[in-house]
């Protein structure tokens, strides 16, 4: 029997910053090998949803399950926190995040950047990690940049290094928050190609993006978030080709 348990299940998730309600009951299920894109206007809660999913942010209500294992909470409402630190680390390291601004360490080489977390967080053997890091850097097309520092690379190369760094954690899923938004259009495509290749090899991914073409081309499922709620969702051809809600139609007409 193949394992059918979804990698990530989010049920009725509520998140507020003080009085500001940002997520108002969101459900998302990412099965193994599936790619889900999250689209929506700025401020609709996309980044918050990703950050709640991998427990970088607390949420006040609702459940998060990683491979069927519910996050254990203590406290209620604004005081709710993950109860089990080991579980938190296990989930966070298995849902590896790639950020818009790459977030590479400026004082470390590209190779050191990719090797850092597997060694310090996961306690892996240095030689083994180095071999993997070189392999993932080659995979994203910058195997020749191991000894360079981030500032010596183009934005597209830095983002590919950040993707290699996420891969080197050997996570169950990758979470991307606007991975191409900081890039010039000609550099965007080299990152899109890497993400497409990862989708084709069956990686589980949640991708927040403003790039509707990428969302269409790489996703199995697209979710349109509006003011903290899922307004519409579906297969990319349906959602982009035959949007139902007026808000989605309007959003798509502005983001062509």
Q: How far is CA 236 from CA 34, 77, 194, 197, 220, in A?
A: 13, 35, 19, 18, 7
Q: Does residue 204 belong to the site contacting ligand ADP (CB under 6 A)?
A: no
Q: Does residue 48 belong to the site contacting ligand ADP (CB under 6 A)?
A: yes
CB of 38 to ligand ADP, least distance (A): 8
CB of 17 to ligand ADP, least distance (A): 3
CB of 22 to Mg ion, least distance (A): 11
20 versus 106: smaller Cβ distance to ligand ADP? 20
Q: Where on the phi/psi map is residue 202: left (φ > 0), alpha (ψ -120 to 50), or beta?
A: left
60 versus 109: smaller Cβ distance to ligand ADP? 60
Measured between alpha carbons, how far is 40 from 115 in angstroms, rounded to an integer?
34
Is the distance from CB of 54 to CB of 97 less than 8 angstroms? yes
Q: Which of residues 26-85 bind Mg ion (CB under 5 A)?
A: 47
Binder among 43, 70, 75, 241 for ligand ADP (CB under 6 A) = 43
Q: Where on the phi/psi map is residue 47: left (φ > 0), alpha (ψ -120 to 50), or beta?
A: alpha
Binding part of the chain for ligand ADP, among 17-25, 79-87, 116-124, 128-136 by CB under 6 A, reads: 17-25
CB of 47 to Mg ion, least distance (A): 3
Binder among 9, 37, 47, 59 for ligand ADP (CB under 6 A) = 47
Measured between alpha carbons, how far is 116 from 101 in angstroms, rounded to an integer?
18
Question: Which of ligand ADP, Mg ion, none does residue 253 bind (CB under 5 to 8 Å by kind)?
Answer: none
47 versus 60: smaller Cβ distance to ligand ADP? 47
Binder among 2, 19, 42, 242 for ligand ADP (CB under 6 A) = 42
H or E segment and range at residue 162: helix 155-167
Is the distance from CB of 48 to CB of 15 less than 8 angstroms? yes
Q: 221-226 and 35-39 as β-strands: parallel, antiparallel, unpaired?
A: parallel
Is the distance from CB of 241 to CB of 247 less than 8 angstroms? no
Binder among 40, 118, 150, 243 for ligand ADP (CB under 6 A) = 40
CB of 187 to ligand ADP, least distance (A): 22
Measured between alpha carbons, how far is 214 from 128 in angstroms, rounded to an integer?
34
User: Of 220, 155, 154, 218, whose CA–CA distance to 181 is shortest?
Assistant: 155
# residues near Mg ion by CB under 5 A: 1
Residues at the interface with Mg ion (CB under 5 A): 47
Residues at the interface with ligand ADP (CB under 6 A): 17, 20, 22, 40, 42-48
């Amino acid at each position: 029997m193949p394992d059918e348990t979804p990698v990530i299940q989010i049920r009725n998730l509520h998140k507020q910053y003080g009085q500001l309600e940002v997520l108002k009951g969101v459900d998302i299920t990412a099965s193994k090998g599936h790619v889900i894109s999250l689209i929506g206007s700025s401020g609709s809660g996309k980044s918050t949803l990703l950050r709640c999913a991998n427990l970088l942010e607390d949420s006040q209500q609702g459940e998060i399950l990683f491979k069927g294992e519910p996050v254990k909470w203590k406290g209620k409402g604004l005081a709710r926190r993950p109860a089990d630190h080991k579980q938190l680390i296990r989930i966070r390291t298995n849902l590896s995040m790639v950020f818009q601004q790459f977030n590479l360490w400026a004082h470390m080489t590209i190779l050191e950047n990719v090797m850092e977390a597997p060694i310090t967080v996961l306690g892996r053997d240095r030689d083994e990690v180095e071999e993997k890091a070189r392999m993932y850097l080659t995979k994203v097309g910058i195997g020749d940049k191991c000894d360079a520092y981030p500032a010596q690379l183009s934005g597209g190369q830095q983002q590919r290094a950040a993707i290699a760094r996420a891969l080197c954690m050997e996570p169950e899923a990758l979470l991307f928050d606007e991975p191409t938004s900081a890039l010039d259009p000609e550099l965007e495509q080299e990152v899109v190609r890497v993400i497409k290749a990862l989708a084709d090899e069956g990686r589980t991914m949640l991708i927040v993006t403003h790039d509707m073409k990428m969302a269409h081309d790489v996703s199995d499922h697209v979710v349109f978030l509006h003011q903290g709620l899922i307004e519409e969702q579906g297969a990319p051809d349906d959602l982009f080709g035959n949007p139902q809600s007026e808000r989605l139609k309007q959003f798509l007409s502005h983001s062509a």
